[in-house]
């Protein structure tokens, strides 16, 4: 299940720096020979770099016990896989999406969003096993090799020059220069691998079907029947359920005493943030509020927005302009502007040191030569709370007049956040209740209210709907808090 944003890394351009050597390699799982332009050492190096970028840009859940729990499950299966000697790592990223993804070389991530939607350790094991399967089958290497063969000589490059990109800390998610998608055959191979690896560790693989049911429901609830990105290249959930049931029909093993571990898993999920964490910043329309850092900024109405761990970004509807807000260190705005404008390939334009909403600031128009042509824009640096923030706004040369007002208005909107309602917003959290008696989900929700719709409550507990009966003694998830206080804007 590749993350919608994470494979948009500059992996292929890195490989294109040196001429590729066309060779064949044996797939460790299937035994078949495949074209490979990436050695195992390169695969590991790319995965390690992408893993570091992932951790930096998204962040990990600050729960050592949870991290160790997921890692232990993954390491057992990886050690028994066809590639046990890879430098395997397993992490939980602080992301609300219901997802998991594998990077080349054995770097596996699951989102906290996924953990809040599944319900037992066996389900988790099949998901992690699926991602291990992508690595053992070298699926990302195959995609990189195929993409490289298709693009040799094209000279793919970053949107900005390396100097600009390094200084600005651009979030790769917002640019999506590349996006390597696994084929449906690859996803089916990973499903089979996840089934095998989980079964090998004595997990009840019947729970794999429950994961696919949940993903199907999450996709249907996403709005208007529009499928989430990960589903675009995955087999239909119904087909994945059927494939799982077919494997179970031919399985010559008694699953009676296999591991499910519902309550143990849920104890690790208890207290996890559910959905986006507004303390780390949140959007309402084009308005962005950051309660912890106590600032606000307004992006152009109708632009596509992204709140990543290391940057807040907005892209124009025509995808020809970007505004990014990120940290620029503790130097003064004037010094930060001087540093930026002195970078190789950047030409400074008209500048100003006028304050913005009473805050020290420095700004300058600029031009920069990139691998894909010249860009022009406005760089603004603002000091607030002992931190200097950088607003980098840019568009292809010749279009600055189209976006100049939007760039200037966004920079001018940066100010202190004073609204008590916005400052006091808290994230929603997962709570657990052990039922004292049998009751329907509707009765449960009436007695133990959740701050999410009952339909969503049904999905995260894997029950059919409000009238579904839940037996006494069962541990049930609910979600508390997280609703914006009245008056928050």
- The residue-averaged pLDDT of 29-52 equals 78
Residue 395 has pLDDT above 60, yes or no: yes
CA 33 to chain centre: 33
- The alpha carbon torsion through 421, 424, 428, 434 (nearest 10 deg) reads -110
Residue 391 has pLDDT above 50, yes or no: yes
* pLDDT, tens digit (0-9, with 9 covering 90-100), for 310-352: 789 999 998 899 999 999 989 999 999 999 999 988 999 999 9
* pLDDT, tens digit (0-9, with 9 covering 90-100), for 411-422: 999 999 999 999
- Nearest Cα to 405, choosing from 329, 298, 488, 325? 298
Domain 279-417: which CATH number of 3.40.50.10680, 3.60.15.10, 3.40.1000.10, 3.20.20.140:
3.40.1000.10
pTM: 0.75
Amino acid 181: pLDDT: 59
Domain-wise residue ranges, the chain: 11-269, 279-417, 424-480
Which positions ≥6 away from 319 have C-beta within 8 Å? none
How long is the chain?
489
Whole-number mean pLDDT of the chain? 83
Which positions ≥6 away from 360 have C-beta within 8 Å? 332, 333, 382, 383
Strand partners, 102: 108
Phi-psi region of 153 (alpha: psi -120 to 50; beta: other; left: phi over 0): left
Amino acid 50: pLDDT: 87
How does residue 32 score in pLDDT terms, banded at 50, 70 and 90?
A: low
Q: Which of 93-107, 188-202, 465-479 is predicted with the least confidence, judged by mean pLDDT?
A: 93-107
Residue holding tokens 């290249």?
A: 233
* pLDDT, tens digit (0-9, with 9 covering 90-100), for 356-390: 999 999 999 999 987 778 999 999 999 999 999 99
Residue 200 has pLDDT above 80, yes or no: yes
């Amino acid at each position: 299940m590749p993350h919608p944003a994470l494979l948009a890394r500059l992996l292929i351009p890195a490989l294109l720096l040196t001429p590729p050597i066309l060779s064949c390699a044996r797939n460790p799982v299937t035994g078949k020979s495949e074209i490979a332009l990436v050695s195992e050492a390169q695969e590991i190096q790319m995965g390690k770099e992408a893993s570091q970028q992932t951790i930096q840009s998204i962040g990990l859940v600050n729960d050592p016990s949870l991290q160790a729990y997921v890692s232990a499950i993954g390491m057992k299966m990886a050690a028994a896989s066809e590639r046990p000697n890879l430098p395997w790592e397993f992490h939980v990223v602080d992301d609300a999406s219901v997802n998991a993804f594998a990077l080349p070389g054995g770097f596996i991530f699951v989102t906290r969003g996924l953990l809040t939607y599944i319900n037992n350790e066996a389900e988790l094991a099949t998901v992690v096993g699926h991602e291990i399967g992508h690595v053992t089958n070298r699926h990302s290497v195959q995609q990189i090799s195929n993409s490289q063969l298709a693009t040799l000589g094209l000279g793919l490059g970053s949107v900005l020059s390396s100097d600009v990109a390094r200084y600005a800390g651009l979030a790769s998610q917002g640019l999506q220069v590349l996006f390597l998608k696994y084929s449906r055959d690859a996803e089916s191979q990973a499903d089979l691998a996840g089934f095998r690896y989980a079964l090998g560790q004595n997990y009840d693989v019947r729970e794999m079907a429950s994961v696919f049911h949940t993903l199907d429901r999450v996709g249907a609830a996403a709005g208007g029947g529009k499928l989430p990105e990960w589903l675009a290249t995955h087999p239909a959930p119904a087909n994945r359920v059927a494939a799982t049931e077919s494997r179970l029909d031919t399985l010559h093993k008694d699953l009676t005493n296999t591991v499910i571990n519902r309550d143990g898993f849920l104890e690790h999920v208890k207290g996890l943030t559910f959905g986006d964490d507004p303390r780390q910043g949140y959007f309402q329309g084009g308005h962005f509020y950051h309660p912890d850092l106590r600032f606000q900024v307004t992006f152009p109405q109708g632009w596509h927005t992204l709140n990543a761990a290391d940057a807040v970004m907005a892209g124009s509807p025509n995808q020809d302009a970007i505004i990014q807000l990120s940290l620029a260190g503790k130097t003064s705005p004037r010094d930060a502007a001087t540093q930026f404008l002195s970078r190789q390939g950047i030409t400074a334009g008209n500048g100003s040191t006028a304050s913005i909403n009473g805050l020290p600031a420095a700004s300058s128009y600029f031009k920069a030569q990139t691998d894909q042509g010249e860009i022009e824009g406005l760089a603004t640096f603002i000091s607030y709370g002992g931190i200097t923030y950088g607003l980098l706004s840019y568009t292809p040369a010749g279009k600055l007049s189209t976006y100049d007002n939007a760039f200037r208005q966004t920079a001018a909107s940066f100010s202190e956040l004073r609204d008590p309602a916005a400052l006091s917003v808290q994230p929603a959290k997962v709570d657990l209740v052990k039922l004292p008696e049998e009751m329907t989900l509707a009765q449960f929700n009436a007695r133990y209210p959740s701050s999410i719709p009952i339909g969503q409550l049904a999905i995260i507990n894997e029950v059919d709907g409000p009238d579904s009966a839940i037996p006494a003694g069962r541990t049930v998830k609910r979600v508390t808090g997280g609703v914006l206080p009245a008056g928050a804007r």
